[in-house]
Chain A
Amino acid sequence: MTAVPLRLPRRLVEFTLDGQETRVPEGSTILDACRAAGKDIPTLCQGDTLTPKNACRVCVVEVEGARTLAPACSRRAEAGMTVLTDTERARHSRKVVLELLASSTDLSTTPRAAEWLKEYEAKPDRFGPDAARVNEEPKVDNDLYVRDYDKCVLCYKCVDACGEQWQNTFAIAVAGRGFDARISTEHDAPLTDSACVYCGNCIEVCPTGALSFKSEFDMRAAGTWDEPAQTETTTVCAYCGVGCNVTLHVQDNEIVKVTSPHDNPVTHGNLCIKGRFGFQHVQNRV
């Protein structure tokens, strides 16, 4: 059973959300309030284990009196504020942001992207056939995971997970500027020459599938990746005494990917190289 730490009671903040009086604990974001109220706001750079960079801007909402729209994922609810999540203005920005992303990057493995594009009637093709794209080849430089930056939306989550928010390895950062900005190791060196420790915590937080297990990448390339057919079994990692939960994703009796539950108080979704990638011995059949 998970222990629930006792905290000081939090005051409630009262504000108006789409015309409804809403009360949320102090410090909650507008997104927290929206989700508590059952509203579905698209997000990419927001993640349940990280402080969002609020860089993707698909979650923008209208705050009455503000000159610009506010990112729901980062803007905290304030007493008395009036928030509108579904105005034409907010929907327009979300639509254009989705079009800009889909016209420059490959969103084919981004969960829910197709659904959002449809919902907001986004037409990425209208920028024409010559619209600049990120155009990156997948970087396959090690046996464990693949970096396919053609699918990267620069949400900064991998950088934050690798850096001070979780892993403190600092193997990757954003390099370059503007449309040419890319997630990169120093001097764009292969991962094998970088500070990477292959914890795979960047894969865990990647919202688009730009970072993936080599096993998943190969199976997708071969057309054998079949997510609905996979089972997920959460167990305890046997490598050391910390007791991390590992969730084994199994397809055709083979482990194809390992994750960790984000609400696990030990891992918060993070693992080390052994828990994440050291599963081959389980399926060594003579």
Chain B
Amino acid sequence: MDLRFTGAAPSDAERAAVDALLGPPPSGWEGAAERTDGDLRWATGGASAAKDRRDQLLPALHAVNDRVGWISEGALDYICRRLTVAPAEAYGVATFYSLFSVKPRPAKVLHVCTDLACAARGAGALCGDLRSEFGEPGTPVEGAVWQESPCLGLCERAPAALLLRAGGGPAGEQPTGGTSRCSAVIAPATAPALAAATRSPATAPAEPPAAAAVPQAGDPSLVLLKRVGTVDPASLDDYRAAGGYTALRRAFALGPAGVIREVLDAGLVGRGGAAFPTGRKWQATAQQADGPHYLVCNADESEPGTFKDRVLMEGDPFALIEAMTVAGYAIGAERGYLYLRGEYPRAYERLSNALSAARARGLLGADVLGQGYAFDIEIRRGAGAYICGEETAIFNSIEGQRGEPRSKPPFPVEKGLFGKPTAVNNVETLVNVLPILERGGAAFAATGSGSSTGTKLFCVSGQVARPGIYELPFGANLRDLLGLAGPAENLRAVLLGGAAGGFVRPDELDIPLTFEGTRAAGTTLGSGVVLVLDDSVELPRILLRIAEFFRDESCGQCVPCRVGTVRQEEALHRIVDRTGAGAAEDIALMREVGQAMRDASICGLGQTAWNAVESAIDRLGVYK
């Protein structure tokens, strides 16, 4: 490729950040400061070599953003030279993600969650305080800037905020964990706490342990959460002492086909929201003649109200690593990608640590457990895009393209990551594989109800006494779950499944929390969100927040979603204070647009964006 670069020079820090990721430039053609005689005589690389490196684009953008706080023209140009990427394309990728900025901004960025769970617990007042103290969002003050954020996955401690600071620590402190940024989670947040943390991120109070999000922690009946809070998440020895890596040994004894048979027998279906049978997905991937096969773990948990995967990854990181190894073995993959949400710094740190510990002990690498099976896992950080949790958008994001969904068919099992057969599984789905192998598929299937087998994690947030992650066998109903969490007295509505899910009324608490039970009740289990709202919450504002969320997170690729989400939000704005006949016309309009979005959008985002609002109108009678 004959690319034209802008010629803008990177700063020393930007150059160093990129070189730390990619190594020093091998020749003048790839951005070395000097062009040698050898460079002029020998050409290396070319378009095919560039193709192999394109997937480093997102990590390279992260490297600069982590070090400097934003991506300048010079930095982008240097990345493009290093990776042989057209500057226009790289600019398109950089501007796709909300954690990146291509305009100068302070090193410290405070993300204040204003999404559903936080809105139900005082995010509005918090933002009001921040406005009076620091000005409007986006105004730089004292080397920091605050901005409103979609759900940060910290719903049990709402209202929440995440502070990200670019650059190393103070006075020569070396960056750790492969990243030069520093982060602090402040939740529950108050304006003074945020102000103090922003002034001095390093002295922000430490986060509570992951187990604090699990009210049932230590309960012997737990299956998926059994190690959270009882085992040191940083210690591989602890994990093994608690029964870790027995599933992988069992997998090697069974062979790949045997593993898939157990998963099929167990009746495991995906926990990310779509409830597709995991065994069938694995079987279809394993059977593909084309290779190599890839495993992608979807840890881009961004559905508002969802935080179960974060708690699993922070509280029991080795379980995910082991489960991915089992899955990779079953589908015949040598490489797994763990696509982790960019807003989860602690999960990144814990998983990075778990990966290196597993590698050091031969539990990952060229010869896993001496069984002649080669497998390794790479963590890829997202950069603030809900859409990248869509199973094909995740491929584009890993490949260094804009995170836009692909149209299906072809399906991922046939043409997925890098165009090769790929199995994509959610974190919770994968972790379920461990008890399946430890106890056998049939024993796993004995728990549950109907075609929903095993246990399910529920993310309970909003106006309850004990918000957090609850694990219940399938078959429990909403009343059982709320009984554990201590619901609000004046219950107004429960949102099931997140922003893409649906509302149910207080008189519908007998809905069984199974895939078929919720479907029969005309709602969805989705990713397991149970957001409880009492009558202190203004529902039209909550609906408006949902519509804003989808408008902000639409990738913009297809018309029904790109423009439809905007029209829906406009209509909700118009009727925010109206009811009855005053709202009827706009509701009819939203129904028409919603139908087209559901029918004609490319991916699940557009197809489900209208669900929650529709259910609020039909089931709760919000605008009556």
Instruction: Say yes or no: A195 contacts B563, CB within 8 Å.
Output: no
With A71-B407, A195-B3 as contacts: A89 and B102 at CB distance below 8 Å: no
Q: Which residues 173-190 of A have a CB within 8 angstroms of B?
A: 173-181, 184-187, 189
Instruction: Say yes or no: A178 contacts B565, CB within 8 Å.
Output: yes
Instruction: Say yes or no: A175 contacts B407, CB within 8 Å.
Output: no
For residue B88, which residues in chain A have a CB less than 8 angstroms away from its CB? 170-173, 175, 184-186, 194-195
For residue B539, which residues in chain A have a CB less than 8 angstroms away from its CB? none
Minimum CB–CB distance for A90 against chain B, Å: 8
Minimum CB–CB distance for B243 against chain A, Å: 41
For residue B240, which residues in chain A have a CB less than 8 angstroms away from its CB? none
Which of B178-186, B199-207, B599-607 touches A? B599-607
How many residues of chain A have a CB within 8 Å of chain B?
A: 51
Partner of A187, one of B4, B6, B98: B6
Give A58 to B563 CA distance when docked, in angstroms.
Answer: 13
Closest chain A residue, CB of each to CB of B596: A96
Instruction: Say yes or no: A54 contacts B91, CB within 8 Å.
Output: no
For residue A185, which residues in chain B have a CB less than 8 angstroms away from its CB? 88, 91
Partner of B566, one of A74, A179, A187: A179
With A68-B607, A104-B563, A184-B92 as contacts: A178 and B6 at CB distance below 8 Å: no
Instruction: Say yes or no: B567 contacts A55, CB within 8 Å.
Output: no
Instruction: Say yes or no: A100 contacts B567, CB within 8 Å.
Output: yes
Give A74 to B600 CA distance when docked, in angstroms.
Answer: 13
For residue A60, which residues in chain B have a CB less than 8 angstroms away from its CB? 599-600
Q: Which residues 98-136 of A have a CB within 8 angstroms of B?
A: 100-101, 103-104, 126-128, 130-132
Give A39 to B559 CA distance when docked, in angstroms.
Answer: 23
Closest chain A residue, CB of each to CB of B90: A186
What 1/0 flags go to B61-105 for Cβ under 8 Å of A?
000000000000100100000000011111110011010001000
What 1/0 flags go to B120-153 for Cβ under 8 Å of A?
0000000000000000000000000000000000
Indicate whether B165 reaches chain A with its CB closer than 8 angstroms: no
Closest chain A residue, CB of each to CB of B94: A175
Give A74 to B554 CA distance when docked, in angstroms.
Answer: 22
Q: Which residues 527-571 of B have a CB within 8 angstroms of A?
A: 551-560, 562-567, 570
Partner of B95, one of A55, A100, A171, A176: A176
Indicate whether A144 reaches chain B with its CB closer than 8 angstroms: no
For residue A195, which residues in chain B have a CB less than 8 angstroms away from its CB? 3-4, 86-88
Indicate whether A263 reaches chain B with its CB closer than 8 angstroms: no
Indicate whether B1 reaches chain A with its CB closer than 8 angstroms: yes
Instruction: Say yes or no: B92 contacts A92, CB within 8 Å.
Output: no
Give A131 to B407 CA distance when docked, in angstroms.
Answer: 29
Instruction: Say yes or no: B562 contacts A179, CB within 8 Å.
Output: yes
Instruction: Say yes or no: A131 contacts B570, CB within 8 Å.
Output: yes
Indicate whether B111 reaches chain A with its CB closer than 8 angstroms: no
Partner of B570, one of A93, A128, A189: A128
What 1/0 flags go to A153-165 for Cβ under 8 Å of B?
1100000000100
Give A153 to B98 CA distance when docked, in angstroms.
Answer: 23
Give A55 to B593 CA distance when docked, in angstroms.
Answer: 17
Q: Which residues 565-624 of B have a CB within 8 angstroms of A?
A: 565-567, 570, 574, 589, 592-593, 595-596, 598-602, 607
Indicate whether A256 reaches chain B with its CB closer than 8 angstroms: no
Indicate whether A233 reaches chain B with its CB closer than 8 angstroms: no
Instruction: Say yes or no: B567 contacts A180, CB within 8 Å.
Output: no
Partner of A54, one of B95, B407, B555, B592: B407
Indicate whether B385 reaches chain A with its CB closer than 8 angstroms: yes
Instruction: Say yes or no: B599 contacts A103, CB within 8 Å.
Output: no
Minimum CB–CB distance for A83 against chain B, Å: 15
For residue B566, which residues in chain A have a CB less than 8 angstroms away from its CB? 104, 132, 179
Give A179 to B560 CA distance when docked, in angstroms.
Answer: 11
Minimum CB–CB distance for B148 against chain A, Å: 16
Give A54 to B574 CA distance when docked, in angstroms.
Answer: 32
Give A93 to B563 CA distance when docked, in angstroms.
Answer: 13
Indicate whether B310 reaches chain A with its CB closer than 8 angstroms: no
Instruction: Say yes or no: B567 contacts A56, CB within 8 Å.
Output: no
Give A96 to B599 CA distance when docked, in angstroms.
Answer: 11
Partner of A170, one of B86, B96, B557, B564: B86
- 15 additional A-B pairs beyond A56-B559, A170-B86, A174-B92, beta carbons within 8 Å, are A55-B557, A92-B596, A93-B599, A93-B600, A97-B600, A100-B563, A103-B567, A128-B574, A132-B570, A170-B88, A177-B96, A180-B556, A186-B88, A187-B76, A187-B91
Listed in ascending order, the chain A residues whose CB lies under 8 Å from chain B are 53-58, 60, 68-69, 71, 74, 89, 92-93, 95-97, 100-101, 103-104, 126-128, 130-132, 153-154, 163, 168, 170-181, 184-187, 189, 193-195
5 cross-chain pairs, A with B, having the tightest CB-CB distances, nearest first: A170-B86, A181-B556, A173-B92, A96-B596, A186-B87
List 11 A-B pairs, Cβ < 8 Å: A55-B558, A57-B601, A60-B600, A89-B599, A127-B567, A128-B574, A175-B91, A178-B554, A179-B556, A179-B565, A186-B73
Listed in ascending order, the chain B residues whose CB lies under 8 Å from chain A are 1, 3-4, 6, 73, 76, 86-92, 95-96, 98, 102, 385, 402, 407, 551-560, 562-567, 570, 574, 589, 592-593, 595-596, 598-602, 607
